[in-house]
Amino acid sequence: MSFINYSSREINCKIVYYGPGLCGKTTNLQYVYKRTNPDQKGKLISLATETERTLFFDFLPIALGDIRGFKVRFHLYTVPGQVFYAASRKLILKGVDGVVFVADSQIERMEANIESLDDLRINLAEQGYELDKLPYTIQYNKRDLPSAAPFDSMNKLLNPRNIAYFEACAVTGIGVFETLKNVAKQVLIELKKHY
Amino acid sequence: MNGSDLIMYEEEFRKIDEELQRLYIQTNSKVVFLVDKNGQLIASAGETHDIDTTSLASLTAGSIAATGGIARLLGEKEFSILFHEGEKDNIHISLIGQRIILVVIFDRRSSLGLVRLRVKKVSESLVRIFDDIGSKTEKEKTEGRMEESPFAEISDEDIDNLFR
């Protein structure tokens, strides 16, 4: 649910990074935070455990610039990936405008990817959304690892509709901004359709 | 977009701002702010300059969402008031009309009783204002826009320019 404020001339949209535990959702946000100008970003908030696993969510507000005199802001959220945080994951999806699914490319994480993608669909449906109708981008993370699954088979498995996807290595930043730009653009195009 | 985007118009924003300013003065509090349930800051009043209101808005909404989850597990519809007591500052969070969150931060210059009383009063006015916004948005959807939409003439180029 985007928030259009005619009084302060602002548009705020919410993007959620979803995916299995340890796939690199928080790493994506950390890289965006590191590489964004101080005047374009707010604080990166991480509600994490002592071992740096996301407990509730990470949050990063960024300002992209102006469109027709309106400030465009995106609020980036991650969900906790671990299976037993299911209840928290649902809450974060409330009011989402666009979704990034971060898939872990390692072969041994393929089942976790599928499980997480199913979980995403179910949780969205509970909020009255359909994944196929939302601005949505897939990121294949950890492509640099030797245990990465062959790209084609992975894409076939996780992306049957062949929507926009990006290969990434979030630790070094490869593909991070490409992913964000793609989903942000889809969100704005969607808004344009409605207003 | 699920048809539930929040749109804030100049007129209603002014009314909300007036209500918050009044609440800020009447409660003798430090900061008062209004957040929508999804974590977007709507308006604020008081000593906001050294507070990161964007982060506060997002965390407050998270807190309300988590509390709502607990309520449902216990068979309650919602817990509409949260109160956190600190050494110096206290925070009073209340859910208004199931959609908006009103936050009051206060110290010893005020009291919980006073805050509760004033929050209850202002809540009724805020519910009315948000009802007005809801019907105005609906009306615009069916009858066309009263104010110029920022998206009316937005081009693909405008969007591309954001990412340069």
Q: Is A130 helix (H, G, I), strand (E, B) or coil?
A: coil
Q: Which residues of chain A lie closer than 8 angstroms to B156, CB-CB?
A: 189
Chain B CB within 8 Å of residue A125 CB: no
B155 touches chain A (CB under 8 A): no
Q: What is the per-residue DSSP string for A26-63?
A: HHHHHHHHHTS-GGGB---EEEE-TTS-EEEEEEEEEE
State whether A68 and B55 contact (CB < 8 Å): no
pLDDT at B4: 65
Q: Which of B1, B13, B27 is closest to B133 using CA atoms?
A: B13
- Mean per-residue pLDDT over chain B, rounded: 89
Helix residue ranges per DSSP H, chain B? 10-27, 53-73, 112-143, 156-162
Whichever domain contains A13, its CATH number is 3.40.50.300
Q: Are strands B41-46 and B81-85 parallel, antiparallel or unpaired?
A: unpaired
ipTM over 0.95? The verdict is no
Report the range of poorest mean pLDDT among A14-23, A26-35, B117-126, B135-144: B135-144
Each residue's pLDDT tens digit, B50-95 = 899 999 999 999 999 999 999 999 999 999 999 999 999 999 999 9
Question: pLDDT category, B25, cuts 50, 70, 90?
Answer: very high
Domain coordinates in residue numbering, chain B: 10-162
DSSP B30: S
* Beta-bridge partner residues of B35: B41, B101
* Chain B interface disruption, residue of A37, A57, A60, A67, most B CBs within 10 A: A67
Count CB neighbours of B71 within 10 A.
14
pLDDT averaged over 10-residue windows placed end to end, chain A, 195 residues: 88 96 97 95 92 92 90 95 91 95 97 97 94 97 97 95 96 96 93 80
Residue B5: predicted pLDDT: 78
Is pLDDT at B49 greater than 70 in this prediction? yes
Please tell me the distance from the alpha carbon of residue B46 to that of residue A139, in angstroms, as a whole number: 42
Instruction: Residue A16: give the domain boundaries.
Output: 3-194
Q: Give B-chain residues touching A191 at CB under 8 angstroms.
A: 1, 151
Nearest to A120 by CA among A99, A97, A139: A99
Q: How many CB atoms lie within 10 A of CB B91?
A: 20
Q: What is the pLDDT of residue A59?
A: 96
> What is the chain B residue with the closest CA to A69?
B150
Measure CB to CB from residue A195 to each of B39, B52, B151 and give the nearest one: B151
Indicate yes or no: CB of B58 within 8 angstroms of CB of A75. yes
**CA angle, residues A19, A24, A30, in degrees to nearest 5:** 125
Do A72 and B162 make contact, defined as CB atoms within 8 angstroms? Answer: yes
> B10-162 has which CATH code?
3.30.450.30
**Do A5 and B13 make contact, defined as CB atoms within 8 angstroms?**
yes
* Residue A174 CB contacts under 8 Å (≥ 6 apart), including other chains: A143, A144, A167, A168
In chain B, what residues touch A88 (CB-CB under 8 Å)?
Answer: 66, 69
Measured CA to CA, the distance from residue B82 to residue A24 in angstroms comes to: 33
Asked if A189 and B159 come within 8 Å (Cβ–Cβ), the reply is yes
User: How many residues make up chain A in this entry?
Assistant: 195
Closest by CA to B45, choosing from B14, B72, B69, is B14
Total domain count, chain A? 1
Q: What's the confidence (pLDDT) of residue B2?
A: 43
What distances in angstroms separate CA A152 from CA A72, A139, A195, B30, B92, one per listed residue?
A: 35, 14, 38, 57, 53
Min Cα distance B34 → chain A (Å) is: 13
Contacts of B15 in chain A (CB under 8 A): none
- Residue from B151, B154, B155 to probe the interface with A (highest A Cβ count within 10 Å): B151
CA distance A117 to A187: 20
Contact A59 B162 (CB under 8 A): no
Report which residue type is found at B18: E
Copy the structure tokens of residue B131.
């009802």
Q: Which pLDDT value is given to residue B146?
A: 55
What lies within 8 Å, CB to CB, of A136 at 6+ separation is A98, A99, A100, A101, A163, A164, A183, A186
Of B43, B25, B17, the residue nearest B106 (C-alpha): B25
Instruction: Identify whether the C-beta of residue B105 lies closer than 8 Å to the C-beta of residue B94.
Output: no
**pLDDT at position B139:** 85
Q: Do A167 and A103 contact (CB within 8 A), yes or no? A: no
